[in-house]
Amino acid sequence: MSQKATADFVGDADASVLAEHPDWDGTCTSVPMARTILRDQRLVAPGEKIVLRCCKQASGEWVGPEADHLQDLIACGLVDGTNEKLARDQKQAAVEYARGVNAPLVIEDGQVVSGPRPEFREQTHKDIKALYRDFVRGGPEEMARKERQEARAEQASIKELAAAIKDAVGAAPEPVK
């Protein structure tokens, strides 16, 4: 499941990263995804592998800059071949059963009383890709540019709000003692 980091891997281990994680030897781990995720500004389909900058020690502990992220992915049932993925599948099946996703068609007196409700099923990779269509258009570079643009707009709004609060507080009378 582990492989050595390669020079073409973005974020390859350098001295500063290794210094922050002394137990990590620079080895990366490749894991197959069980569900669609957004990683590094691209949608990763179920069955695709992602490479994380971490490795598992003999003690079973994950170490490296992305060890916590991998543990979160596992805990959420997003990594294929894990017990957590099987548990998530069981929970998803129970949710879909409760929502009536695959309910039988019931007709009484010529009227449909209830039936399957496929609109309440878990979203597929195709569904998610359609939702993110505009966001992922242009590739990872364009997505990163959009995110930076949104962050700048957010910072400008925060500065405006801070100035308005300062003006309001500055104009307020002194509290009564």
pLDDT tens digits, 135-177: 777 777 887 888 899 999 999 999 898 888 888 887 555 666 6
pLDDT single digits (tens) 48-73: 999 999 999 999 999 999 999 999 99
Please give the helix or strand (H or E) that residue 116 lies within, else none: none
The candidate with the shortest Cα–Cα distance to 1, out of 33, 24, 31, is 31
Provide the mean pLDDT of the chain.
Answer: 84
What average pLDDT does the segment 28-41 reach? 92
Mean predicted confidence (pLDDT) in 4-25: 64
Joined together, the tokens standing for residue 151 give 């962050």
Global pTM? 0.68
Whether 143 and 134 have beta carbons less than 8 Å apart is answered as no
Going by C-alpha positions, the residue among 22, 28, 35 that lies closest to residue 52 is: 28
Q: Over the stretch 85-122, which tens digit does the pLDDT of each residue have?
A: 999 999 999 999 988 888 888 888 888 777 888 888 89
Rounded Cα–Cα distance for residues 106 and 134 (Å): 39
Could you give the CA distance from residue 126 to residue 149 in angstroms, rounded to a whole number? 27
The separation between CA 91 and the C-alpha centre of its own chain, rounded to angstroms, equals 19
Q: Which residue has the tokens 């598992």?
A: 56
